[in-house]
Amino acid sequence: MKFLQNKFDQIKPLFEKGGKFEKFHTIYEGHRTIFFAPDIITDKKGAQIKDATDLKRLMFTVIIAMIPCLIFGMWNVGHQHFIATGVEASILDKFWIGILKVVPIIAVSYGVGLLTEFTFCVIYNRPIEEGFLVTGMLIPLIMPATIPLWQVALATVFAVVIGKEVFGGTGMNILNVALTARVFLYFAYPSQISGDVWTYFGDKTPVDGFSGATILAYGAEAAANGTDMMQLASSHWYSGMFDFWNMFVGIIPGSIGETSALMCLIGAFILIATGVGSWKIMLSVVLGTLAMGGLFNLTGGNSFMEMPAHYHLVIGGLAFGAVFMATDPVSASHTELGKWIYGFLIGVITVLIRVVNPAYPEGIMLAILFMNVFAPLIDFYVVEANKKRRLKRATV
Amino acid sequence: MSQTIKLKKGFDINLAGKAENKTIEITQPDTFALKPTDFSGLSRPKLVVKEGDNVKAGSPIFFERNVEDILYTSPVSGEIVEIKRGEKRKVLEVKILADKQVEFEKFKSFSASDISGISKEEALDQLKKSGGWVNIIQRPYGCVANPEDTPKAIFISAFDSSPLAPDYAYVLQGQEQYFQAGIDILKKFTSGTIHLNVDGKAEVSQLFSNAKNVQLNKVSGPHPAGNVGVQIHHIDPISKGDIVWTVNPANVAMIGKLFIEGIHDTSRLVALTGSQMKERGYVKMYSGACLNKLDVEGSDNRFISGNVLTGEGVGSEGYLGHYHNQITVIPEGKYEEFLGWILPSTKKLSFHKAFGMLTFLNGKDKEFEVDTNAHGEERNFVVSGAFEEVMPMDILPTYLFKAILAEDYDDMEALGIYEVIEEDVALCEFIDISKNPIQEILREGIELIKEG
């Protein structure tokens, strides 16, 4: 690797003070540190040795945890395409369609996002941070495969600038950056990210009787018109589509990476085993969902309310949100007790939005953003309690 | 009532290069230095000597302006050869070329049985003029104690859980008499308890279990269980307005010797540790001894006075700090590592288990070889919940650090800044994925609140 090191050393003077590209030195450093862990040593005062883990490794762990969702998602895009168009196809054909649709979205997300990030780093002369590594992968996974690429680009720029950079970069943001991208599209271009957008047809036409409705759409209909949701689901044109286990595995239409609760579970396992994602948040989202879903089961009212509570865990983006979005350490609650409250309320609010407000069928996105905003408040009370304990001791 | 405290949080850093329980002879270095920077809270030292003066061990060298009666005295006898100054003529080091045979300034000596008869004033006077007083540290702030205060308690941690730390039972062998005398002297300054905290995991040395006038507490758990600040938090916490004092066990014996023998003798057994140290064991050294006589392997090394978490890299020509009972030598880590941020490894030392960081596969007994590479660049705080896992106190570290960065005095106070000094957050700094200089941040906060 001496060769690469020499190459970097060769162009280094250009980026040093007084060099031609002095302004871009942060981009030079950013690239060099991808190939080589930097030769920084500890200060003469303070800790003389440091832990071998850095932010890059941490972020990369999250990407690895998302890979099962990504691969399954690519297959599922193709699979949904072929069943909707009534064509028998091999697993490779399905993958191929998925790759054709998904890879460009990933490329746009990373390309545009990193460019935005680099621009800010150069302007503000600060190091390139690793946060976007994860965001750049999250954004494609929560988009429908049919999303126009220019919308991906626009949403990414919006999310990086308004969601993160204006607050001071990675670690300073209030909202989850990837969800900011999605919510931007949701309100700016609703017709491309809600309704019948989940299946990619290409130049093919759908088979007779095809309906692109998701189970959440059936739920919304049930809540609005009093139809029987489970009956609608079971008489879906593609029989067995909305069986519990089929939904658990994720062979249903939906955003690219979030249909499969099973793949999210694998991701959750990776995040928990590596200690990177908070199991407290994941578990409490599940508990909150079951609690609120269970409560609706008891009260009844319409067929969506009566849907067994555990169905909520496998439909929509809940599993993906709980594992990869709610656990974003920056926008989540920072205190350990706060994490329980934060996660639980995400579960509760998701079910509330889904069941009570059918205008927004996808509740998890809004629930997480809502709780992102409230996380500092939760932490505030946890911190106040800590202060009070200290004060109390003083008077004893 | 002696207490037993079991701590769960923390992290034992198991490094290669432990000191064996043996005493090594080394050549006495020629030069010694008394460094104002060793003493926190000493900001404006005023010199009482000039280059060319001759001093004895225990002769005054400098004092803090406006606190003229607490003297900082020479560890050895000899000639002042250099007064090294930094920016704004700030005194950095007073170098002394030592005599072959150390001569001591004579103070009053007492027999062991007379110690109890010494009045508080007499003890205070002898401590202040001999240089013994600086061994007493106060909390909050972790600076040299103010003799006008009456602490609510005095804490002595009889064990050190830091990486490669010395074993005080070994360091203090044969000094039972001095140790007890030191305790008896300290007892005169508080109406409260003197807490002597021993390692609950190990067999308690008779030296400590036989000590009188103390409350013996057992504390067990991973590092930082041996930190006196952690022990205070669980035994008798510091609230606003409280003052407690802490003394290192070797310094307790130093105080005792001052009264029994009538000399300010800073020599003690210092642990020579670290993977690059050729012969590891204990060596008798005076404070401020130059490290240039140490035998080490390799050429590019970090010479640390103290341990790897809280010590100071002083260089191969540097000096042993006044409060340090350990010297650690490890290799410097100035190298780039190809894809070092992601390649899996079982050899690297990490508290975390992120992808490829397979440290935990090694089991508990694996001794790690470490260097001074920072393994990454500085970043904003991103991770939450990690600091809490190495902080066995009811303190929210991230919030405290952020309060300091924001210079929010109320929050610093409310979040417990009075209860911690640098060593208590050293593990946070070590495990911090964002590589922030946390001990430095905390010290800035402490200085802010002290000036208030």
Partner B, chain A 110-129, Cβ-Cβ below 8 Å: 127, 129
Partner B, chain A 223-262, Cβ-Cβ below 8 Å: none
What are the C-alpha distances in Å from B423 to residues A147, B153, B311, B326?
A: 53, 20, 9, 15
pLDDT in tens, A276-309: 999 999 999 999 999 999 999 999 888 889 999 9
pLDDT for the residue numbered A395:
62
Partner B, chain A 300-339, Cβ-Cβ below 8 Å: 329-330, 332-336, 339
Residues 6 or more apart from A88 whose CB is under 8 A from it?
Answer: A82
pLDDT in tens, A333-392: 999 999 999 999 999 999 999 998 877 767 899 999 999 999 999 999 999 999 999 988
Q: Is the peptide bond before B140 cis (omega within 30 degrees of 0)?
A: yes
Q: Please judge whether B380 and A129 are an interchain contact, meaning their C-beta atoms are less than 8 angstroms apart.
A: yes
Task: Name the residue of chain A whose CA is nearest to B410's CA.
Answer: A387
Asked whether the beta carbons of B285 and B320 are under 8 A apart, the reply is yes
Interface membership of A360 toward B (CB under 8 Å)? no
Q: Hey, is A319 helix, strand or coil?
A: helix
- Strand runs labelled E in B159-264: 193-199, 215-220, 244-246
Task: Name the residue of chain B whose CA is nearest to A279's CA.
Answer: B385
Looking at beta carbons, which residues of chain A come within 8 Å of B308?
47-49
Look at residue A15 and tell me whether its pLDDT is greater than 90.
Answer: no
CA dist., res. A271 & res. A280, Å (int): 12
CA dihedral A106, A110, A116, A117 (to 10 degrees): 140
> Which of B375, B436, B442 is the best residue to mutate to test the A interface, defined by the most A CB atoms within 10 Å of its own CB?
B375
Q: Hey, is B328 helix, strand or coil?
A: strand
What are the C-alpha distances in Å from B336 to residues A6, B11, B301, B315, B430?
A: 12, 27, 17, 22, 20
Partner B, chain A 136-195, Cβ-Cβ below 8 Å: 168-172
Tell me phi and psi for residue B90, to 5 degrees.
Answer: -65, 130
Q: Indicate the residue type of B335.
A: Y
CA dist., res. A224 & res. B360, Å (int): 54
Look at residue A97 and tell me whether its pLDDT is greater than 70.
Answer: yes
Angle at B167 between CA B102 and CA B112, to 5 degrees: 55
pLDDT in tens, B374-390: 999 998 888 888 999 99
pLDDT in tens, A232-245: 888 888 888 899 99
Q: What integer is the mean pLDDT of A60-77?
A: 96
Residue A194 or A247, more confident: A247
A&B contacts, CB < 8 Å: 221
Looking at beta carbons, which residues of chain A come within 8 Å of B13?
49
Looking at beta carbons, which residues of chain B come within 8 Å of A36?
336-340
pLDDT for the residue numbered A174:
92
Asked whether the beta carbons of B310 and A11 are under 8 A apart, the reply is no
CA dihedral B390, B392, B396, B402 (to 10 degrees): -50
Tell me phi and psi for residue A77, to 5 degrees.
Answer: -60, -45
Q: Given phi > 0 = left and psi -120 to 50 = alpha, else beta, which region is B288?
A: left
CA dist., res. B419 & res. B142, Å (int): 10
Tell which residue, B22, B23, B48, B20, has the closest CA to residue B34. Answer: B48
> Which of A43, A124, A390, A393 is the best residue to mutate to test the B interface, defined by the most B CB atoms within 10 Å of its own CB?
A390
Q: Please judge whether B384 and A335 are an interchain contact, meaning their C-beta atoms are less than 8 angstroms apart.
A: yes
CA dist., res. A209 & res. A226, Å (int): 23
Q: Please judge whether B356 and A39 are an interchain contact, meaning their C-beta atoms are less than 8 angstroms apart.
A: no
Looking at beta carbons, which residues of chain B come within 8 Å of A127?
377-379
Look at residue B410 and tell me whether its pLDDT is greater than 90.
Answer: yes
Q: What integer is the mean pLDDT of B239-259?
A: 95
Asked whether the beta carbons of B442 and B420 are under 8 A apart, the reply is yes
Rounded to two decimals, what is the model's pTM? 0.93
Strand partners, B218: B4, B198
Locus of tokens 């009787």: A209
pLDDT for the residue numbered A396:
55
pLDDT in tens, B160-189: 999 999 999 999 999 999 999 999 999 999
- CB-CB: which of A4, A330, A389 is closest to B394? A389
Residue A222 or B225, more confident: B225
Residue B40 or A260, more confident: A260
pLDDT in tens, B46-73: 999 999 999 999 999 999 998 999 999 9
Look at residue A209 and tell me whether its pLDDT is greater than 60.
Answer: yes
Look at residue A2 and tell me whether its pLDDT is greater than 90.
Answer: no
Q: How far is A121 from chain B (nearest CA, A)?
A: 13
Q: Please judge whether B354 and A172 are an interchain contact, meaning their C-beta atoms are less than 8 angstroms apart.
A: no
Q: What integer is the mean pLDDT of B407-413?
A: 95
Interface membership of A3 toward B (CB under 8 Å)? no
Look at residue B305 and tell me whether its pLDDT is greater than 90.
Answer: yes
> Which of B350, B352, B434 is the best residue to mutate to test the A interface, defined by the most A CB atoms within 10 Å of its own CB?
B352
Q: How far is B349 from chain A (nearest CA, A)?
A: 6
Q: Hey, is B297 helix, strand or coil?
A: coil
Look at residue B157 and tell me whether its pLDDT is greater than 90.
Answer: yes
Look at residue B211 and tell me whether its pLDDT is greater than 70.
Answer: yes
Q: Please judge whether A47 and B309 are an interchain contact, meaning their C-beta atoms are less than 8 angstroms apart.
A: yes
